[in-house]
A and B are shown apart, each in its own frame.
Chain A
Amino acid sequence: MKTTYIMQKEIRESILTSKGFLWYTLTSIILSILSYLFLTNSELSLLDQGQMLYMIMNFITALGILMGLVFGSDAFAGEIERGTLEALFISPVNKTEIAMGKLGAAVTNWGIIFVISLPYLFVVGKGGQNLLIGIAYLAILGTLLAIIFSAFSMGLSARIKSMKNSLIISFFIFLLAGAPIFLSAALRKTWFGMILDLINPFADAINTFDSVVIDSQGFSYQAGRVAIICGYTLLSLWFLKRSVSRLEM
């Protein structure tokens, strides 16, 4: 219950604000532009429908992760910098409950981005292949990735106690996570590239979307990657719990 109160406070503080709505409006405008360009047969639409759906899914996932990182970095360091965390710690709420409340708000933020993206996914994927299964995978893997990156960033924020520094480190890690995508197709097929792809939860999610939406492959093809993402989820929650339990003012 206390976790719920913390989560409500976080949602009011970060989501139901003009800044929060500005983010969501921008998200929606970018998705509007992307969808329109994809579908209107201009020269930018050099993609088939599955490919478009896949690209929009990647964009939504990356945006969800980025916003999760901002949420996470502010979670503890931001409250310490604003002098508000001590009053919370004085209250009879344990640190894990506080962390879970904050994580709940970060996941809610992902949920809002997902809901905003749904009409675009339906419009872009209409009449194409694997739309519904693609959306289901986006809902599940996107949520897990939002948890992984937000929890990791929150843990860092509790350890470093500086919002700016935890945000920089989190962004750096996210860029590292995205780096294999920039490798050439040939390099990604080498054992080195394949391992790099496999141990990276972001690449795992994107490769799963590719496999599900474009290649129409079943769950047995995805099981390994999904298991790795689940593993990272548990690891990030453990990291968060350990980081906040050590947090001292």
Chain B
Amino acid sequence: MKRLILALSAVILSITVNYAYAANRIAVSINPPSVQANMGDTITYTGTITNNSDKAANNIIAYISLSNVTQGKESPMDLEDWSANKAIKIDTIQPHGTYGGKWPMRLIDSGSYVAYITVVDKNSNIPVSSEMSHLEVKRILRLNPNNVLPVAIGEPLIIGIVFMFVALRRRKGVK
């Protein structure tokens, strides 16, 4: 029994040490920690990736994830639609150095979301993620963005008027 307890303790210790090593070696944080914005706005998340070890970290991949946490709509989002940058590959982070990555994002739908940045280091078995940044996107209805209404209503009307002018001129030339 004692042997079993010892063996289990050794396994748990080894996992904990590994985890602690990984967590200590690379750390990532996301900023701002929470955002409130409107649909159509563009916001930028900043990720700070820190190499806490004495060795350079090479070929690090960092990417942002966004999940919809609105009641009844829970799902991960396809960031291509949100024009967010895809993954960033970082060639090297010097020992005890940091890297700042930027992820601009266009808010295309209303709801509650969480965003977080994940760092993958091929020398570690465990990915490291930042804390979650809460994002609240409010629906707003802009009736005339970019002055679209005068064009959207005016142009078909102008074409109709030109047609009537051409038809009338033609009718005058024909008996």
Chain A interfacial positions (CB closer than 8 Å to B): 16, 18, 21, 24-25, 28-29, 31-33, 35-36, 39-43, 45-48, 51, 116, 119-120, 123-124, 126-127
Contact = CB atoms under 8 A, between A and B. Distances in A.
A48 B109 CA distance: 12
Contact of B147 (A45, A51, A123): A123
Contacts of A21: 159-160, 162-163, 166
Nearest to A24: B159
Band of interface residues on B? 20 to 34
Given A41-B39, A46-B81, A119-B155, A25 B148 contact: no
Nearest to A12: B170
Given A46-B109, A48-B106, A25 B159 contact: yes
Contacts, number: 74
A45 B39 CA distance: 10
B156 interface: yes
B145 A32 contact: no
B109 A43 contact: yes
Interface in B119-164: 139-143, 145-149, 151-153, 155-156, 159-160, 162-163
A35 B142 contact: no
B81 A123 contact: no
B17 to A, nearest CB: 41
Contacts of A28: 155-156, 159
A41 B144 CA distance: 10
A39 to B, nearest CB: 4
Q: Which 7 A-B pairs have the closest CB atoms?
A: A32-B152, A21-B163, A48-B83, A39-B145, A28-B156, A119-B151, A41-B40
